[in-house]
Amino acid sequence: MDANEVRKDLEYICEETYSQYVTYDEIHTALGAEHDVQKFLGLLKDAGYGFRRAYEENFVLPQYGGGLFINHSSEETEGGYTLYAKNGKNLIVLSGFDSDYDQFTVYHECAHLYQRRLNLFGVLSNDDYNTYLQEVHANTFSSMVRLLKSKTVLEYKKQQLCRIANAINFYNSQDKRHQYYLSLPIELELIKAIRKKGRKNCKKEFSLKNGELDFENMALYTADMVKKFAFKRFEFLRILEGKSVDQHDFLTRKAKAYRILGRKYIQMDKKKVASRIYLHRRIDEEREERFKNKLQNIPQVDEEAKVINAVCAIDVWQTTMKQSYGYQEDLKDMVRGKYVYLGFDHTDDEANSILNIRDTVKDLYEKWKDNPQFLKLFEKINNIQTRDEVWALKEQKEREIQSLGQSQLLKHILRHPSKNR
């Protein structure tokens, strides 16, 4: 399918469902993290996500050396996600439009927009079974769109194989999260239904007067199929627990027998996907080089320089907490030794690392807590809105030190003895 055609469909669906979209390429650019974050925060604001909520829910994270960056994951480079707006426009973040999987993902995310619009499958619920119904419906809707958009019999046959191969891959995946995407039984029934009606008749049934597909009607039709052919609640919960369910066991054996088909589907657009991943990896590497130098200690020529180094070191540790462990703790609680519950999301090693970071930060604080300037800067790095001021002060101090000649620098050090040297 032509990428422009997919984009046109997406724009129509976004207009119909009061939504907006952005691609990963548009919010992960060579222009820099600051540009990307401002663009993304603007989109989140339109969706009703203020800065504080965006930060607390980890859509944006603190960057080493000051500033913020968007919390991208492999989903953005290879898939997408949908944010439902409480007061504003829903937002879809997509990988792109070029590969078959990209295009499948576009319509998958569009299905989530219709679920919200039509209130299907408890769309705002965190219930495991409802999540399963939402995801398999999105898969089935996307497959139906891709099948009915086939312009020739040969293309239709190819899409049949692609849709089955994609569904097989979810069955063969070792990733437990993919259990929510087990749409193979429903998609097989969908293919049967289209074959029975005839592809052209089916397309005519689900088309508007202008010849375009009636996406909302297709969303309702595929929702009915999900209700009829999806696993029942007790069956799906047994699957999550790793217990036997006859139909699931049968399809798992079938999926293993046809795993070569699934592998060929993955290989089909491998070059396109690999090229995109490489491009974004380069962007990340260039950004990392730019802020790496900012993390080096400035020469400790006087008390102020030592204080700045200590405070920036604490900020590096709290950034590691947020970036590596998704964990944000008030620095004041940390240095006071206040017990904060870590939850069940961390492994023992991660929990130990967090505790070690706490101890390191506490030791640094204890060393400098009697210094008024340290306490002032400590307050600033404890606030995401003012932490950049500390890093700007570090850059300013570094420029001042660099402007001193070697002889002046020596005189400066001798003139400013420090008890903490």
Does residue 421 carry a pLDDT above 50?
no
Question: Which tokens in the block code for residue 210?
Answer: 């202008």
Statement to judge: residues 333 and 247 lie in one domain: no
pLDDT tens digits, 44-93: 898 888 888 888 888 888 888 888 888 876 555 567 888 888 777 899 99
Statement to judge: residues 217 and 342 lie in one domain: no
Q: How confident is the model at residue 414 (pLDDT cuts 50, 70, 90)?
A: low
Answer with the residue of higher pLDDT: 302 or 110. Answer: 110
Helix/strand/coil for 174 = coil
Statement to judge: residues 250 and 325 lie in one domain: no
Domain assignment present for residue 311? The answer is yes
Q: How confident is the model at residue 207 (pLDDT cuts 50, 70, 90)?
A: very high
pLDDT tens digits, 303-319: 899 999 999 999 999 88
Domain assignment present for residue 346? The answer is yes
Statement to judge: residues 310 and 410 lie in one domain: yes
Domain assignment present for residue 31? The answer is no
Statement to judge: residues 253 and 309 lie in one domain: no
Query: Is there a contact between 229 and 221 (Cβ–Cβ < 8 Å)?
Result: no
User: Which position has the token pair 């939850």?
Assistant: 343
Domain assignment present for residue 37? The answer is no
Domain assignment present for residue 84? The answer is no
Answer with the residue of higher pLDDT: 174 or 14. Answer: 14
Answer with the residue of higher pLDDT: 161 or 58. Answer: 161
pLDDT tens digits, 9-22: 999 999 999 999 99
Domain boundary among 208, 242, 257: 257
Domain boundary among 257, 284, 312: 257
Statement to judge: residues 343 and 406 lie in one domain: yes
Domain boundary among 235, 257, 279: 257
Domain assignment present for residue 389? The answer is yes
Q: How confident is the model at residue 291 (pLDDT cuts 50, 70, 90)?
A: confident
Does residue 181 carry a pLDDT above 70?
yes
Statement to judge: residues 236 and 142 lie in one domain: yes
> Parallel, antiparallel, or unpaired for β 60-62 and 19-23?
unpaired
Domain that holds residue 126: 119-257
Statement to judge: residues 319 and 235 lie in one domain: no
Statement to judge: residues 130 and 250 lie in one domain: yes
Domain assignment present for residue 143? The answer is yes
Compute the C-alpha angle 119/120/121, nearest 5°: 125
State the average pLDDT for the chain: 86
Statement to judge: residues 321 and 193 lie in one domain: no
Statement to judge: residues 132 and 246 lie in one domain: yes
The number of helices, as runs of H, and strands, as runs of E, in the chain is 20, 5
Question: Which tokens in the block code for residue 15?
Answer: 């207009």
Does residue 144 carry a pLDDT above 90?
yes
Q: What is the mean pLDDT of residues 224-250?
A: 93
Per-residue confidence (pLDDT) for residue 85, from 0 to 100: 84
Does residue 420 carry a pLDDT above 50?
no
Whole-model pTM: value is 0.83
Domain count, the chain: 2
Statement to judge: residues 319 and 192 lie in one domain: no
Task: Return contacts of 5-13, CB within 8 angstroms, 24+ apart.
Answer: 5/149, 6/97, 6/103, 6/106, 6/107, 7/97, 9/106, 9/107, 9/110, 9/145, 9/213, 9/215, 10/92, 10/106, 10/110, 12/212, 12/215, 13/110, 13/113, 13/114, 13/215
Domain assignment present for residue 271? The answer is no
pLDDT tens digits, 250-276: 988 988 888 888 888 877 777 777 788
> Parallel, antiparallel, or unpaired for β 19-23 and 90-94?
parallel
60: which strand partners?
Answer: 70
